[in-house]
Amino acid sequence: MPKIKIALIGVGNCASALVQGLHYYSNGEEEKDCVGLRHLRLGGIHPRDIKVVAAFDIDNRKVGKDLSEAIFASPNNAQKIVDTPLSGVTVHKGPVMDGIGEYTRSIVQLSREPEADIASVLKETDTSMAVNLLPSGAVKASEFYAEQALAAGCAFVNATPCFIASNTAWAKRFEKADQILVGDDLIDQVGATTIHKTLLKLLSTNGVRITETYQLDVGGGTESLDTLERTKDLKRTVKTKSVEATLPYEAKVVAGSTDYVDFLENKRDSYFWIRGTYFCNTPMQIDLKLSTVDAPNAGSVLLDVIRAVKIAADRKLKGTVLPICAYAFKHPPKLVPLETAEKTFAEFIS
Ligand SMILES: NC(=O)c1ccc[n+]([C@@H]2O[C@H](COP(=O)([O-])OP(=O)(O)OC[C@H]3O[C@@H](n4cnc5c(N)ncnc54)[C@H](O)[C@@H]3O)[C@@H](O)[C@H]2O)c1
């Protein structure tokens, strides 16, 4: 099978987990031996059929370096799981725009290398898909890279909570250009939003009346710091809406990020609190803590998205592909219940 050629926009923690995962699973043949993947083969496509052919960043510890080295450079603090071989992909300097916020200014070391012509690099490398992994506050930069994907004629995967796929104007532009656009804001594999939604779904299906619930978390990656400054409200809106969509009735729901704790490094602690009543109005309450590492949480879902976009492209689809957006993103163009998203994705793949 010809490789799916992808470009990484931002070589941060998520990119690190994805690149390591591509190597980690490359020799897997049996589902049972590939723990941690939802699908070893999706529509017949194996993770080894994905190849990173271009990467962009702005930090001088990453720009000009081979991708295999850049993914382990500070301030990335995602854990090292495997040594990745030299990739032959040198990280290009992208335009900074709003890529650095006030809070991350002291953490990121800006490269002085000249900026690459992004669309030209995407074309020269025959990239079929640009995967946007910029900080969540980098709205202008994310839109800039979406423009570059359009100019280069490749698909755009928006893992950030910046509204691109869920913006009708962008969706129409990709449709007109015969290109695929999916997003926004990737759902984690064992993320707080998924666990929260699943718990609420289980309880409400069992006849429990949830009255109030919150889910808040703290993390130590650069992204948590950027969130604290620039996207706390946005993330709260996106997560809350996504969780609310699970319940068949109205309840008081709050879901969002709260703070940055540097010594947690790439770890994340998520707290859940659920209150409701069951048989004969008897009260119940759940207090729960989930501890995960952030970056690997994006890996399995990203691998599914990349392969699903390839399937969509082979079927000559264009614009936003709802089964992919609803399955893998917290803020798709249209929110649907969890089980509908799962079902339509499975039908789409088969
Ligand atoms: N599990 C997860 O980690 C997860 C889940 C869902 C969504 N996301 C989203 O994925 C995105 C990436 O998360 P992360 O933890 O990897 O963040 P990160 O801060 O570790 O990485 C961002 C990278 O982008 C680079 N960058 C900043 N501005 C740039 C520009 N203009 N051009 C090129 N590169 C630039 C930074 O130098 C950094 O290397 C975030 O928007 C986050 O919300 C992550």
Sheet holding 267-278, edge to edge: 252-260, 209-219, 267-278, 282-293
Return phi, psi of residue 300, to 5°: -65, -40
**Residue whose token pair is 């070893």:** 40
Nearest in space to 189 (alpha carbons), one of 40, 82, 327 = 327
CA of 160, closest atom in ligand 1 = 41
- C-alpha pair distances (Å), 28 with each of 23, 35, 37, 46: 10, 10, 11, 9
Nearest in space to 304 (alpha carbons), one of 45, 128, 12 = 45
User: Domain 4-187+296-349 is in which class?
Assistant: alpha beta
Mutation to probe ligand 1, out of 63, 133, 229, 234 (largest number of atoms < 8 A from CB): 133
pLDDT in 10s for each residue of the chain, 350 residues: 779 999 999 999 999 999 999 999 999 999 888 999 999 999 999 999 999 999 999 999 999 999 999 999 999 999 999 999 999 999 999 999 999 999 999 999 999 999 999 999 999 999 999 999 999 999 999 999 999 999 999 999 999 999 999 999 999 999 999 999 999 999 999 999 989 999 999 999 999 999 999 999 999 999 999 999 999 999 899 899 989 988 999 999 999 988 999 999 999 999 999 999 999 999 999 999 999 999 999 999 999 999 999 999 999 999 999 999 999 999 999 988 888 999 999 999 99
Task: State residue 338's pLDDT score.
Answer: 83
Task: State residue 319's pLDDT score.
Answer: 98
- Pull the structure tokens for residue 125: 């490398």
Judged by DSSP in three states, 255 sits in strand
Distance CA 201, CA 11 (A): 36
**Residue 233 CA to ligand 1 centre (angstroms):** 18
CA nearest ligand 1 atom 20, residue: 12
Q: What are the extents of the domains in the chain?
A: 4-187+296-349, 192-293
Domain 4-187+296-349 shares a fold with domain 192-293:
no
Q: Do 176 and 194 contact (CB within 8 A), yes or no?
A: no
Is residue 219 within 6 Å of ligand 1 at its C-beta?
Answer: no
Distance CA 319, CA 171 (A): 5
CA nearest ligand 1 atom 33, residue: 57
CA atoms within 13 A on the CB side of 326: 20
Is residue 223 within 6 Å of ligand 1 at its C-beta?
Answer: yes
Sheet holding 4-9, edge to edge: 92-93, 50-57, 4-9, 129-132, 155-158, 180-182, 319-320
Q: Do 137 and 130 contact (CB within 8 A), yes or no?
A: no
**Residue 108 CA to ligand 1 centre (angstroms):** 12
Task: State residue 33's pLDDT score.
Answer: 86
Of the candidate CATH numbers 1.20.1250.20, 3.20.20.140, 3.30.360.10, 3.40.50.620, the domain formed by 192-293 belongs to: 3.30.360.10
Task: State residue 262's pLDDT score.
Answer: 94
Task: State residue 267's pLDDT score.
Answer: 96
Distance CA 168, CA 180 (A): 13
What residue ranges in the chain does DSSP mark as E strands?
4-9, 50-57, 92-93, 129-132, 155-158, 180-182, 209-219, 252-260, 267-278, 282-293, 319-320
Q: For the residues of 14-57, what is the DSSP string, one character each?
A: HHHHHHHHHHHTTT--SGGG-TT-S-SSBTTB-GGGEEEEEEEE
Task: State residue 335's pLDDT score.
Answer: 87
Mutation to probe ligand 1, out of 67, 76, 134 (largest number of atoms < 8 A from CB): 134
CA nearest ligand 1 atom 34, residue: 57
